[in-house]
């Protein structure tokens, strides 16, 4: 294939990630390529993390993020950990600074292989999340699914972690809810002019949560890092937990919790694993791809 670049199929706690190396290139991964890649069972993904040459002084790379429907994403914490692991393996470096449309992200790989990403500061102002109408207190907004006198889900905490989130508090296992049915309705609710990530969060203790997420532009996901951050911050903000919690991502096949620390300087730091699966080459304009020849796969 001509015009190809290297990519890696990875996951962050089950969150399906394609890391595409666009360094040295002037083009971008197109929405059409993203849609084509997601249509193939072998390359199906939640987010593409396209690594570009740095645009700002003092950064290691610019990261362009695409959802599986071809739309742009502002943030992806699980995907950022995958980028760190890939670049650490390539360069031997342990600390990185990335630029995204949501701002600057600092990240570090630890000796045990886990990776911490500083996801920045949370945003609570209704017009910056954004919401379509004014709420003085976004820790509990008026929104519900189900009968008025007995709603299935209601009164979520709304905030932004570079992308909009709504956290619905539930009193039983998030896997017991039909999020596949409710998710699209809530993601596209008129209260969210830029749509929203929808998370069900169960409080396990004052330092532990269990979550499940319908991801904006990707659908039902095995894991979502920014949603884990939003859940942890919202839990602390509403007095349900302290500022440091572990997140058991209910839908993830990897039984390793994320650790979220909403520090006193207002920065949210997420720590968790990343996993390389296999590598290949791809045409970023069309999505045509093949596995790395050393893995013995045939061109697609």
33, 49, 167, 224: the active-site residue: 224
Q: Would residue 224 show up in a list of annotated catalytic residues for this protein?
A: yes
Sign of CA dihedral 140, 213, 255, 278: negative
| Angle formed by the axes of helices 77-91 and 225-237, nearest 10° | 130
Q: Would residue 229 show up in a list of annotated catalytic residues for this protein?
A: no
Token pair for 198: 């929808």
Max CA distance (Å), the chain: 60
Q: Give yes or no for a contact between 262 and 270, defined as CB atoms under 8 angstroms apart.
A: no
19, 76, 223, 270: the active-site residue: 76
Rounded CA-CA distance 163/179 in Å is 20
Rounded CA-CA distance 2/132 in Å is 45
Q: Give yes or no for a contact between 195 and 188, defined as CB atoms under 8 angstroms apart.
A: yes
Q: Which of the residues are catalytic?
A: 76, 224
């Amino acid at each position: 294939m001509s015009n190809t670049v290297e990519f890696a199929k990875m996951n962050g706690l089950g969150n399906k990630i394609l890391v595409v190396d666009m360094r040295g290139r002037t083009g971008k991964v197109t929405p059409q390529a993203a849609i084509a890649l997601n249509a193939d069972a072998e390359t199906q993904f939640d987010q593409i993390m396209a690594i570009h040459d740095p645009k700002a002084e003092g950064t290691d790379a610019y990261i362009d993020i695409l959802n599986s429907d071809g739309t742009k994403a502002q943030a992806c914490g699980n995907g950022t950990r995958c980028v760190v692991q890939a670049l650490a393996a390539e360069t031997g470096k342990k600390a990185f600074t990335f630029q995204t449309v949501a701002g600057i992200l600092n990240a570090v790989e630890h000796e045990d292989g886990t990776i911490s990403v500083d996801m920045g500061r949370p945003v609570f102002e209704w017009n910056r999340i954004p919401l379509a109408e004014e709420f003085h207190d976004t820790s509990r907004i008026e929104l519900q699914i189900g009968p008025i006198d007995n709603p299935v889900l209601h009164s979520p905490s709304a905030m932004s972690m570079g992308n909009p989130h709504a956290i619905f508090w539930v009193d039983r296992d998030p896997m017991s809810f039909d999020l596949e049915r409710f998710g699209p309705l809530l993601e596209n609710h008129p209260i969210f002019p830029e749509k929203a990530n929808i998370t069900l969060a169960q409080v396990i203790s004052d330092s532990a949560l269990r979550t499940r997420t319908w991801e904006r532009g990707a659908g039902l996901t095995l894991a979502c890092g920014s949603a884990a951050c939003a859940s942890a911050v919202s839990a602390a903000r509403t007095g349900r937990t302290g500022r440091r919690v572990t997140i058991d991502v209910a839908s993830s096949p990897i039984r390793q919790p994320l650790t979220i620390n909403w520090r006193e300087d207002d920065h949210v730091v997420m720590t968790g694993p990343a996993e390389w699966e296999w590598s290949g080459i791809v045409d970023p304009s069309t999505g045509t791809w093949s596995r790395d020849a050393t893995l013995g796969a045939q061109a697609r």
